[in-house]
């Protein structure tokens, strides 16, 4: 086994004593994924004096060695990700010798948006074959600045309004458009508009005097029936237009190689190279729905089985609708439980205290289901009659009043923290008030005034954090709160926590449990399965998590637990940090074991390398010869299908049958 640990130690030592040239030469001998990992743990290419030396003297004197290395893409991303490191001579050499690679890196980092780099990039010696991209940079740069200027201008017209008035206008704008079109696509867009508006608002305004529920109700209805709403409407329309441009044009151009700029008769066009590839991209969002429906069907089966056995213990409530709500909550809880168990997510720690995930679900899901039944569904029942939003709201409130509903259905949830604590205590009397505060704080976003808005990195997401904290109160738009079933949100929250180094042990422990459980599922098909221990892994370069074989065929597996619902930019970052690392480790391990076989880890000629990931993006794509397979697709196939051989399983997975069959059977 190559002692890479010693080499990494040598690199760090050389940098500490100032032998920078030797250190960087050694760095470039490492595999790509090792270079990426080492650079991510250090700031050698960002902090002075190492960055000045590398981007100046070292790159200019060792140009071919640096930019023809396997780590070319990672190095270019570091370079363009730090505009202050820009070197005119280096830029000129890159545009001349590696123009296509340099252009790709410029797009991935949106470098043409940067005002300091824009003119310099356009003035570089580009060949005529790249004229469409150069022209695209100019148009996209101009459009970006126009949107930001328009956003600032529209904000200045409403900045004198209180935060409660602006929030009222935002909620009204969101809810009316949700009422008019509640398709999944429009729901997603409205969430993005809301996220952006909240980030903007909470970076600009302070809470001056927190309002009670009655005071906020008065402000809301006064605002939406006054001219104040017009300026807020304009602000949100600009945000909506920006998001449409950013998601459909800018990010597609920067991060999707199937989306290109072309020149036809002197005119610039943006379009997809292949409609087939576009359909594959579109299917990525549909996979989330199919997977959630799988778990809902499994939860429904448990519910029906327990009902037949007389084992259900669900409160009836005070009315038929209350009983229906409680039964729906029960099924939704099981749906999330099954999903989180497959991710081996059971407890989440706050301040060293472990809290079972059911406590999170117990707080969010019942409230969301209740608002869906009491507000969103009654409102939807009126739109088919051609009734306006205002009239529908009046009718919904009247029906609730007739039914003696205590919590009146408004377009927003506005509660005091004390009320939420009481609700949690009622549901989970064993929780302390401090633990409940932890839960509420996690699902609440507070004011961060004075922060600079980065339109590409929003700090707030209603999909994960439903409530906004206004002093001792929280608020959320009912339409967004009630229709987000939180199925992926808790998993996303846990995975985000695991990404923090303070939760490293928890992350490794639960990831190992996933590997063990997956290994058992292969054994249930009477195949030989071996999950590699830490001791066994230390004997090889690279990494293989699971060996599976049936005597004729073999699977070599890397299992990666990644986040959900990535945008194109995050998807690209994930592919660099996870997919390329996984493929690099797999391929490195295979090369070593083919050259130096170890007992129990022999490589068969008929083998397939799989990166099994919880990601729904790029499923069945090839990454350096490794197939990217969705973890939940594989679980479903192993649970509900019988395979006589590994080759039969491979064929089923590679034909995307888990997704296609489920979409057909579940009528999606």
Say what the pTM is: 0.87
Chain centre distance of CA 563:
5
| Sheet with strand 607-613: strands edge to edge | 528-531, 546-549, 554-560, 607-613, 626-630, 622-623
Cα 665 to Cα 294: distance, rounded to the nearest angstrom = 10
Q: Six-digit token pair at 383?
A: 């739109």
Among the residue ranges 203-207, 216-220, 360-364, 365-369, the one predicted with the least confidence is 360-364
pLDDT range class, residue 1, cuts 50, 70, 90: very low
Q: What is the per-residue pLDDT for 361?
A: 65
**613, 560 in Cβ contact below 8 A?**
yes
Strand partners, 270: 261
**587, 626 Cβ separation under 8 angstroms:** yes
The predicted model gives 339-343 an average pLDDT of 93
Tokens of 353: 């205290």
Exposed, middle or buried: residue 377 (CB in 10 Å: 0-12, 13-18, 19+)?
middle
The pLDDT tens digits of the residues spanning 283-307 come to: 667 888 899 999 999 999 999 999 9
pLDDT of the residue at 416: 93
How buried is residue 104: exposed, middle or buried, by Cβ count under 10 Å (0-12/13-18/19+)?
A: middle
Say how many Å lie between the first and final Cα of the chain, rounded. 50
DSSP state of 83: G
Radius of gyration over every alpha carbon of the chain, rounded to an integer in angstroms = 27
Would you say 561 and 495 are in contact if contact means Cβ atoms under 8 Å apart?
Answer: yes
Q: Which DSSP string do the residues of 308-357 spell out, in sequence order?
A: HTT-------SSHHHHHHHHHHHHHHHHHHHHHHHTT--EEEETTEEEEH
Complete DSSP assignment for 120-169: HHHTS---GGGHHHHHHHHHHHHHHHHHHHHHHHHHHTTTTS-HHHHHHH
CA dihedral 147, 150, 151, 153 (to 10 degrees): 160
Task: Summarize the confidence of residues 482-502 as an average pLDDT.
Answer: 76
Task: Say yes or no to pLDDT of 414 above 80.
Answer: yes
pLDDT at 125: 95
Cα 657 from Cα 262, distance rounded (Å) = 36
């Amino acid at each position: 086994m190559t002692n890479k640990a010693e080499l990494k130690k040598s690199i760090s030592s050389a940098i500490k004593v100032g032998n920078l040239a030797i250190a960087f030469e050694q760095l470039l001998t490492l595999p790509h994924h090792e270079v990426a990992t080492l650079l991510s743990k250090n700031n050698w290419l960002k902090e002075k004096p190492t960055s000045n030396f590398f981007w100046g003297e070292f790159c200019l004197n060792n140009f071919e060695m640096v930019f023809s290395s396997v780590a070319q893409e990672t190095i270019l991303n570091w370079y363009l990700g730090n505009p202050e490191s820009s070197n005119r001579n280096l830029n000129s050499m890159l545009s001349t010798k590696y123009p296509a690679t340099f252009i790709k890196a410029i797009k991935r980092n949106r470098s043409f948006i940067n005002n300091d780099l824009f003119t310099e990039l356009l003035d570089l010696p580009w060949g005529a074959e790249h004229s469409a991209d150069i022209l695209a940079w100019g148009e996209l740069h101009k459009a970006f600045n126009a949107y930001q200027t328009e956003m600032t201008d529209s904000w200045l017209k409403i900045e004198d309004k209180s935060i409660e008035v602006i929030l009222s206008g935002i909620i009204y704008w969101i809810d009316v458009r949700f009422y008019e079109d509640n398709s999944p696509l429009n729901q997603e867009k409205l969430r993005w508009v809301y996220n952006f508006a909240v980030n903007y608002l909470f970076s600009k305004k302070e809470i001056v005097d927190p309002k009670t529920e009655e005071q906020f109700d008065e402000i809301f209805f006064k605002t939406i029936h006054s001219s104040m709403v017009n300026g807020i409407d304009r602000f949100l329309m600009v945000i909506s237009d920006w998001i449409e441009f950013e998601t459909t044009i800018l990010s597609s151009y920067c991060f999707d190689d199937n989306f290109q700029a072309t020149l036809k008769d002197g005119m610039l066009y943006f379009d997809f190279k292949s409609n087939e590839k576009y359909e594959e991209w579109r299917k990525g969002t549909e996979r989330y729905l199919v997977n959630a429906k799988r778990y809902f069907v499994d939860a429904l089966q448990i519910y029906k089985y327990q009902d037949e056995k007389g084992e259900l213990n669900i409160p009836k409530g005070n009315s038929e609708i209350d009983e229906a709500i409680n039964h729906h909550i029960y099924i939704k809880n099981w749906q999330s439980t099954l999903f989180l168990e497959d991710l081996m997510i059971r407890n989440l720690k706050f301040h060293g205290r472990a809290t079972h995930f059911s406590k999170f679900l117990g707080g969010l899901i019942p409230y969301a289901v209740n608002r869906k039944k009491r507000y969103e569904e009654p409102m939807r029942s009126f739109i088919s009659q051609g009734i306006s939003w205002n009239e529908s709201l009046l009718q919904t409130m009247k029906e609730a009043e007739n039914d003696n509903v205590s919590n009146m259905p408004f377009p927003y949830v506005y509660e005091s923290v004390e009320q939420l604590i009481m609700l949690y205590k009622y549901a989970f009397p064993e929780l302390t008030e401090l633990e409940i505060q932890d839960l509420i704080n996690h699902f609440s976003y507070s004011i961060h005034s004075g922060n600079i808005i980065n339109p590409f990195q929003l700090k707030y997401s209603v999909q994960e954090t439903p409530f906004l904290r206004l002093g001792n109160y929280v608020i959320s738009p009912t339409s967004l709160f009630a229709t987000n079933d939180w199925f992926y949100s808790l998993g996303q929250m846990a995975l985000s926590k695991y990404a923090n180094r303070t939760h490293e042990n928890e992350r490794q422990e639960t990831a190992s449990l996933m590997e063990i459980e997956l290994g058992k599922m292969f054994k249930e098909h009477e195949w030989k399965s071996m999950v590699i221990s830490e001791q066994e892994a230390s004997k090889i370069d690279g990494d293989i998590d699971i060996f599976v074989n049936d005597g004729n065929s073999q699977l070599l597996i890397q299992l990666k637990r990644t986040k959900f619902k990535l945008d194109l930019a995050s998807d690209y970052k994930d592919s660099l940090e996870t997919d390329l690392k996984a493929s690099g480790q797999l391929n490195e391990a295979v090369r070593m074991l083919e050259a130096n076989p170890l007992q129990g880890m022999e490589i068969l000629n008929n083998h397939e390398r799989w990166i099994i990931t919880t990601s729904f993006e790029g499923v069945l794509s090839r990454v350096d010869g490794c197939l990217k397979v969705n973890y939940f697709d594989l679980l479903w196939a192993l649970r509900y299908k019988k395979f006589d051989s590994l080759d039969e399983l491979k064929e089923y997975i590679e034909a995307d049958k888990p997704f296609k069959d489920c979409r057909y059977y579940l009528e999606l």
